[in-house]
Structure formats: structure tokens, C-alpha cells
Amino acid sequence: MHSLRLWILGVAVGSFAAGLVGGYVGSEQVANGQGLPIPDHEFASDLAVRYGLRTNQKRSLGLVLQGENQQEISILKSTQWSQLPPPVLAQLLQLRSMTERRIRAILDDEQRTRYDRDSRPPSRGSGTTDKR
């Protein structure tokens, strides 16, 4: 049962990653005036061709798939780190580390000092919480 959960989570994370890539490509299309971003573009295109979808149906399909991606993100956000397979956990930790380095690079010295202080885990017994 545990391995089935990990497999399902792995599929969800994979879908999430595909959705991110699709979202990025779709946002480029929107920026170029080519219409709404459609997650899982190949799947949507296949459905459109196979069933002869009209323009308004394609737009609705894009919204449905976009809603699915948002719900997947919500599910993944509510997943506990301990539930993630080690390779996925390693990728997420690497991504967080890279993001932190990028944030620090944006800040000036004074801001970086405050950010570093605020990003440290709270010491035991103190009432402060991590602001992230």
C-alpha cells in the first residue's frame, strides 16, 4: 500500500512538472496573442482533433485542464515531505536551495542580513516563526 501511495504521488509530481512546462509555454503563447494557455497541450490538441472541438470548446477544455493543474498543485502542497519519494524530495530541496540563493542575490547587504536572520529556524523556546 505504501509503494502505491508513492507511485501515485510520483505520477502527480510528474504531472505537476509537465503542467509547469505547459504553463510556461502557454504563457508565451498568451504573450504572443495566441490564446489561452492550455496545460497538457498535446492531450488537448488530440481531443480537439479527435472530437472536432469548436473554438469555444477548446477554450473551455483549456480552463478545465488548468483547473486540474491548480488542484494538483493544491494536493502537492498539502503533502507532507515524509510522503515524498527520496528522488523527488532531493529535487525539491535542491530547488528551494537554488531559490534561496537567487533571492539572496537580489537583496542588498542590509536586506540580505535581515533575510538570513529571518530565514533561520527559530531557536527552541522562542515564540518566533519562520516567515516563509
Hey, where are the domains in the chain? 1-80, 85-120
Q: Which tens digit of pLDDT belongs to each residue from 49-106?
A: 989 989 998 889 888 988 888 888 888 888 888 888 899 889 888 988 998 999 989 9
Tens-digit pLDDT profile for residues 18-60: 665 566 555 545 444 455 456 678 888 888 898 998 999 888 9
Closest Cα to residue 131, out of 109, 93, 94, 103? 103
Give residues with Cβ within 8 angstroms of 12, minimum separation 6: 72, 75, 76
